[in-house]
Amino acid sequence: MNKLIFLILMVLTVSCSSFRKSSATLEEDELIITRKYVGDYIEHRQTGPENYDGPNMIWIKTTLEDVYGKISGYGRKCEFAEGDRLYLRRSFYSPGIVTGYWVYTIENDASVSYRATDLQHDRGVYIRSWFE
């Protein structure tokens, strides 16, 4: 009888411990979207710096965002071809042990990419809001 009770307690302990472990794993593992489709490339406008130390910017127009300024990035020229599928990608960089930050890029399916501006200039919307 003692062996049977011991065996039941062992089975119960093992089943409960693996249940707790799997539920904890689910809480830690979250789906993080790192790439978002923003439309097919139509055209762009390029602006130079306002002063000597300012950036060159490209203002991109896509099939989903047909207003200049909703998607903007840094660059002297834009090498996207008409019809390219464009994506916003975010990558997490952690230069220190505790902290880190997201870097956003505009890219196509090939190897062309530009760093996105942190503030999208259409309505003062931050680029991170595309992923919220």
What are the domain boundaries of the chain?
1-30, 35-131
Indicate if the pLDDT at residue 22 is higher than 80. no
What was the pLDDT predicted at 50? 74
The strand pairing partners of 54, in sequence order, are none
Q: What is the pTM of this model?
A: 0.69
The strand pairing partners of 122, in sequence order, are none
pLDDT band for 69, please (50, 70, 90 cuts).
low
Q: d(Cα 131, Cα 114) in Å, to the nearest integer?
A: 18
What was the pLDDT predicted at 14? 58
pLDDT tens by residue, 77-127? 899 999 999 999 999 888 877 788 889 999 999 889 999 988 876 567 788
pLDDT tens by residue, 34-56? 899 999 999 999 888 877 788 88
Q: Which amino acid type is present at position 7?
A: L
103 — phi, psi (to 5°)?
-120, 130
Is the CB of residue 68 less than 8 Å from the CB of residue 58?
no
